[in-house]
């Protein structure tokens, strides 16, 4: 999210931190509230009760289609686009049955990979297309950008 903040032209360190917080907290309530009826409804309430700014709460809640929150800011577009693809990148690394030279996670660690890796991601194609369109980038470019952003922290987060 911080990388996308800079890509969207955000230069203020405090605002870049806001984007990072949105990325960090966007699913904080998911394990206790894994349904559309609870996830983000409960999380949004908790964040508001704890005094988080509405900009953060609304951006977090906007990452789920069922919340029907317009993605009318770059922050909301980025959390939507990053949520889906970072999950795929992690899933591929965690054991999807792909050829080793097609694993996007190999590129996270700095190893060379074939450009075919994006096609191997699979998953709900419609949501993937909507996610990348949120930031207005071709899918391969979006995935490569995320992998490059994750590379410095790959070991720390298990990639």
Residue 125's pLDDT is 65
Query: pLDDT digit string (tens) for 103-122?
Result: 444 445 444 433 444 444 44
Residue 113's pLDDT is 38
* pLDDT at 101 exceeding the cut of 50: no
* pLDDT at 136 exceeding the cut of 50: yes
Residue 152's pLDDT is 92
What does the mean pLDDT of the chain come to? Answer: 83
Rounded percentage of the chain residues whose pLDDT exceeds 90: 58
Q: What is d(CA 138, CA 141) in angstroms, rounded to the nearest whole number?
A: 5
Show the tokens assigned to 78. 């980025």
Query: pLDDT digit string (tens) for 40-92?
Result: 999 999 999 999 999 999 999 999 999 999 999 999 999 999 997 887 787 77
Instruction: Count CB-CB contacts under 10 A for residue 157.
Output: 11
* pLDDT at 102 exceeding the cut of 50: no
Residue 116's pLDDT is 40
Residue 89's pLDDT is 80
**Residue 159 binned pLDDT confidence (cut-offs 50, 70, 90):** confident
Residue 133's pLDDT is 85
């Amino acid at each position: 999210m911080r990388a996308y903040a800079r890509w969207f032209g955000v230069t203020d360190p405090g605002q870049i931190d806001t984007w990072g917080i949105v990325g960090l907290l966007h699913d904080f309530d998911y394990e206790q509230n894994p349904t559309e009826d609870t996830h983000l409804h409960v999380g949004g309430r908790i964040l508001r009760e704890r005094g988080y700014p509405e900009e953060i709460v609304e951006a977090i809640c906007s990452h789920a289609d069922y919340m029907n929150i317009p993605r009318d800011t770059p922050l909301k577009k980025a959390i939507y686009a990053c949520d889906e693809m970072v999950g795929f990148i992690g899933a591929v690394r965690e054991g999807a049955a792909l050829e080793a030279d097609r694993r996007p996670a190999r590129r996270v660690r700095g190893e060379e990979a074939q450009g075919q890796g994006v096609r191997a991601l699979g998953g709900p194609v419609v949501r993937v297309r909507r996610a990348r369109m949120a930031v207005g980038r071709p899918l391969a470019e979006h995935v490569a950008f995320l992998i490059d952003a994750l590379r410095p922290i790959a070991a720390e987060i298990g990639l």
